[in-house]
Structure 1
Amino acid sequence: MTNDVTNTPEKTPADTPETTSGGRIYRPLADIVETAEGVTLNLEMPGVAADDVDITLEKRVLTIRGKVQPTAPEALQLAYAEYGEGDFERSFTLGDDFDPDKIGAEVSHGVLTVTLPRLAEASPKKIAVKSA
């Protein structure tokens, strides 16, 4: 099947997974930054408000879900769409060296930032070397 406007193949359900409610689920793009203090995840989740983000940590698996509230322009009929609306979901397996009580998250301009601080005893320590 092709799209009449661009002559490109349309996505099939196999290409874009669907939920039981019929909506699409997208895997958000992520940047991962690692420092001595911990790890920061930056996930692209356009259209997701802070109240619509659900983050869980169970058995070292951090699961991030974002629900998008559908938008439809009033009194306008969509002629063509390249942007597909849907929810977001992504999971990460964490090591044992993160402090689950200090994980933080913030949404700003469509980007979810999740901070994963390391446990104090897991942080690298600098050893001073003396000359004899």
Structure 2
Amino acid sequence: MREETRPAHVERARRVFAPAVDIVETHEDIWVLADMPGVNQDNVEVTLEKNVLTIRGRVQGPTLEGYTLDYAEYEGGDYERTFTLTEDIDREKIEATMKQGVLHLRLPKAGPARVRRIPVKAV
């Protein structure tokens, strides 16, 4: 078996995966739960530009102090996913938390988008 090698000056591109998400809707909010194993809160970026919400997570590879990696078959990767938001979302109140590799995004509904019952009067 022969292993292919490339010159030392060639940088290997990092893989980018779309994280699996669950989307849950309540009366007041829409929740997006994105699985990003290996990502901590310092390596997550959530941006909103116009109507596009983008989540990015960077995975820091394991390092063993005092050792040098000579060969690896497993390559991790980073995460990225985008969503287009409707006008029903209150952009100023979006919140994000990270817990055990899962990003929790709370997208509150704007006031007018909430369901309300309108009474009907007899004339």
TM-score scaled by structure 2?
0.77
Structure 1 unmatched runs, 5+: 1-19
CA drift of 1:53 comes to 0.7
Query: What whole-Å deviation, never above 9, does each CA across 1:37-63 have from its counterpart, x for those lacking one?
Result: 121000000111111111111121100
* Structure-1 residue corresponding to 2:91: 100
CA RMSD of aligned residues (A): 2.7
CA drift of 1:25 comes to 0.6
CA drift of 1:24 comes to 1.0
Q: Which has the higher strand share?
A: 2
Amino acid across the alignment from 1:99: D
CA drift of 1:90 comes to 0.2
**Which of residues 84, 108, 116 is equivalent to 1:125?**
116
Q: 2:103 & 2:21 partners in 1: Cα distance?
A: 9
Structure 2 unmatched runs, 5+: 1-10
Percent identity reads 43
Q: What secondary structure, in the 3-state scheme, does the structure 1 residue paired with 2:63 have? A: coil
Higher relative contact order (CA 8 A, sep 6+): 2
Please tell me whether Structure 1 or Structure 2 has the larger radius of gyration of its CA atoms.
2
* Structure-1 residue corresponding to 2:52: 61
CA drift of 1:127 comes to 3.1
Q: What secondary structure, in the 3-state scheme, does the structure 2 residue paired with 1:124 have? A: coil
* Structure-1 residue corresponding to 2:17: 26
* Structure-2 residue corresponding to 1:17: none
Distance 1:22 1:40, change over 3 A: same
Q: 1:79 & 1:129 partners in 2: Cα distance?
A: 73
Distance 1:21 1:60, change over 3 A: farther
How many residue pairs were aligned?
111
